[in-house]
Amino acid sequence: MTISLVISTYNWKEALELTLLSAARQSEPPHEVLVADDGSRADTAELIAAMAQEIPAPVIHVWQEDRGFRLAAIRNRAMARASGDYVIQVDGDLILHRHFVRDHRRAARPGAFIRGARAPINEAGTRRLLAVRSIEVHPWSLGVKNRIKGVRSLAVSRLLRRLRLARGVLGCNMSFWLEDVIRVNGYDERMVGWGREDEELCVRLEQAGVRYQELRFSGLAYHLHHPERPRDRHAANLEMLAETRKTGRTTCELGISQYLP
């Protein structure tokens, strides 16, 4: 089982540096790291090239022209370049626990995808970490909110996966088999702007028979604070999500297939 770690980013190289540093220290490194870049400036490419020397896996920079918030498209482009069996998808404003990749690998099951969690860090805590380029963070660190989400316990994690107590989607911390994503044609690129593109993909996965799993108390990540994204396209994306649920469709027309060899 080979793992492709896909990290999405846009013009915040200081946060991306911490994400890449945390990827470099993984107890089980991924097979490859793909940075899905939604049109960042040249300084982001320079950072990625420099950080590639510190990561014990190939680093691939996948870039698209900046034409607004097109997260669905850049994730499709990156996953189309992936060579791993399994994809772990994160945002470039997360600090990954050193066992993050190992925990996702351990939890992976055939015919299922995983939604992980994150522990948010407040504005002051984020400024401190960025100022000193530090990835040393734990549940009791200054600025960590909802500290319980930063606690790692494999026994509790296994119990909650069996109980399946909750539902929800966080595109910043998800994992799935690449063949399952290709089968449903990846993200629907009609969904632009912030929100719901990850949930819509997960609905199609479930309607195609891929089971939902929630990963708690393992696969931990800490989320750096940033201002909320504009939500001017949110209503339109909600309509497309509702359409997917109503029709029961499992694929989309404008998806990952346009980038596959």
List domains and CATH numbers for the chain. 3-259 (3.90.550.10)
Radius of gyration of the chain, Cα coordinates, nearest whole angstrom: 17
Per-residue pLDDT of the chain (261 residues; tens, 9 = 90+): 999 999 999 999 999 999 999 999 999 999 999 999 999 999 999 999 999 999 999 999 999 999 999 999 999 999 999 999 999 999 999 999 999 999 999 999 999 999 988 999 999 999 999 999 999 999 999 899 978 888 887 788 777 776 655 556 777 899 999 999 999 999 999 999 988 999 999 999 999 999 999 898 899 999 999 988 778 888 999 999 999 999 999 999 999 999 998
Tokens describing residue 220:
């931990």
**Percentage helix, strand, coil for the chain under 3-state DSSP, each rounded to 5:** 40, 20, 45
CA dihedral sign, ordered 233, 82, 101, 163: positive
Torsion angle of C-alpha atoms 38, 41, 47, 49, degrees rounded to 10: 80
- N-term to C-term CA, the chain: 22
pTM of the model: 0.94
Compute CA distances 97 → 11, 172, 194, 214, whole Å.
23, 14, 26, 17
